[in-house]
Chain A
């Protein structure tokens, strides 16, 4: 099957390389290139055949993007699809990477103050896993390869600066604690339900504190503890409408936004004050 997949992929690449003429098919404007797995820069890692050549596994989302509007309170997204039995399904949702600085409190003369700080690069903004069976059981028979538990994923984040390994581990645990409180690293493994032996669905809950960026939803089909097929889908998370306009304005033209904020406060404060006194 792998040979077929690779051959199919090569054929696809070859034909697209040949198609240099004007009637070239461009991807739709909104399409985003999915982040590569494990930092690899191969066009498509061999373990992840593109959807077109992996009909064993078909995946879709209930929405193409998460839109953060003024009424946004977090959102639950439905991921669903079909696979060729037998097999089990694992879904990994990874947020965009950021540099995070973890602060640690320490007691100084009886006062608790932020003394220690440690930065990490490439910290995923969000990380959640869902599976159709307990993960340990699914991955027990052979390494899941690229399916990483949160702990495994975080052990690879790059610490900035020098620090003993045990202290780094403490800061890393601190990072997980904080992120977990914000609901960005759900502790529980989500439940993928399988119906009729080949249909699957899972609710992916996102909290309102969701950072913007392109998220990646990777769905794996496991057979005998090995990855038989995998599909990666980008999920853009972004502000839309009024929220987007305000945030855009604030970051593009900060001074003008500041003047606008002052004017708003003056007008509302003045009119509001006058109105309330009249009552």
Chain B
């Protein structure tokens, strides 16, 4: 069954879009990431113009996040204080990121930066997560009853000023840390056009040392607002949000998200992190081969609104 997408200006199979939405929803429910880093390349692959894919994907992430947040909130898995500080950083960062995006576009290097940033970030995060979860998994198997060790290790960053207590996360760290992370995520999400969950979740686990259970709810909280901000800015400045496309993705996601949440509740944190690491590495590998492989066609058309 085909449907015409009024902003993307083409018709597309309804079930392909529903399926894509369900996949993104599954990720959102399972790992607390928006799924944009996976769904956006896929949308572009099936032929949606990149500008429309990025903007409509942001719109879908809103629904995914609110749907996932409902569950997490009820279970008390949202660290509101942490979320608000991350959000503050995120808003500042995305504003800075938009300026950077405009500058890169002007000097004509935005494509290069996006492609390389994606590959570098995804492969770094993926590898780090994979090694960490493998190490934890092996240690636990070897020594199941052994000492748990410290809740988290202490680095230099824990000596920063403005320390705050985060009760839900069982942390006593400087507010500058989540603020800085939020800022970095904001910059990235403005440049790459994704919610940034796939960077935020590992950062919360490994840099802040938050427990995995709280990470998903809290990142969903932050992503909800960042995605709303991106949707608004894209609609107001570029007019590239396709609500018909977004609605189909959302409907798919509505089914996928709770399935993901239930799966996540059943799996242990280590397995969950390992799976996410593999997924991130798979996307990174795909993007890297795209950069390395001789393309079928050397030519493409720039979106009309991006023409100089």
Contacts and interface: CB of A to CB of B under 8 A. Distances in A.
B112 A113 contact: yes
Interface string B159-173: 000000000000000
A68 B7 CA distance: 12
Interface in B204-240: 228, 231-237, 239
B18 to A, nearest CB: 12
Interface in A42-62: none
Most buried by B among A68, A171, A272: A272
B67 to A, nearest CB: 3
Interface string B221-265: 000000010011111110101011011001101110110000000
B299 A261 contact: no
A73 B2 contact: yes
B241 A101 contact: no
B62 interface: yes
A272 B298 contact: no
Given A261-B246, A273-B70, A273-B254, A73 B62 contact: no
Given A100-B301, A250-B241, A209 B62 contact: no
Contacts of A76: none
A273 B66 contact: yes
A277 B292 CA distance: 44
Contacts of B293: 112
B77 interface: no
Contacts of B237: 254
Given A260-B243, A265-B231, A269-B254, A102 B304 contact: no
B10 interface: yes
Prevailing SS type, chain B contact patch: helix
A1 interface: no
B136 interface: no
A69 interface: yes
Contact of A243 (B2, B4, B66, B304): B4
A251 B237 CA distance: 10
A273 B298 contact: no
Contacts of A106: 298
Interface in B1-15: 2-4, 6-7, 9-11
Interface in B259-294: 290-294
Interface band, chain B:
35 or more
B42 interface: no
B263 to A, nearest CB: 14
Contact of B234 (A72, A112, A211, A258): A258
B306 interface: yes
B251 A266 contact: no
Nearest to B240: A250
Contacts of B70: 270, 273-274, 277
B30 to A, nearest CB: 15
B231 A261 contact: yes
Nearest to B11: A208
Contact of B297 (A178, A243, A251, A258): A178
Nearest to B47: A209
Interface band, chain A:
35 or more
A174 interface: yes
Interface in B112-168: 112, 115-116
Given A112-B292, A250-B235, A177 B297 contact: yes
A201 B182 CA distance: 64
Given A68-B4, A265-B231, A265-B250, A73 B11 contact: yes
A221 interface: no
A2 interface: no
A100 B303 CA distance: 8
A111 B294 CA distance: 9
A225 B283 CA distance: 58
A104 B250 contact: no
Contacts of A272: 63, 67, 250-251, 254
A175 B6 contact: no
Most buried by A among B64, B108, B254, B304: B254
Interface string A244-276: 101100110011011111101110111011111
A266 B64 CA distance: 9
Most buried by A among B64, B239, B247, B308: B239
B98 to A, nearest CB: 15
6 contacts: A73-B4, A112-B292, A257-B235, A265-B250, A268-B63, A273-B71
**5 cross-chain pairs, A with B, having the tightest CB-CB distances, nearest first:** A258-B235, A174-B299, A269-B63, A272-B254, A273-B67
Interface of B: 2-4, 6-7, 9-11, 59-60, 62-68, 70-71, 108, 111-112, 115-116, 228, 231-237, 239, 241, 243-244, 246-247, 250-251, 253-255, 257-258, 290-295, 297-302, 304, 306-308
Given A102-B300, A259-B232, A261-B246, 14 more contacts: A69-B4, A70-B244, A104-B299, A113-B111, A209-B9, A250-B7, A258-B236, A261-B243, A268-B247, A269-B66, A273-B254, A273-B258, A275-B254, A277-B70
Interface of A: 68-74, 98-106, 108, 110-114, 117, 119, 171, 173-175, 177-179, 181, 208-212, 239, 242-244, 246-247, 250-251, 254-255, 257-262, 264-266, 268-270, 272-277
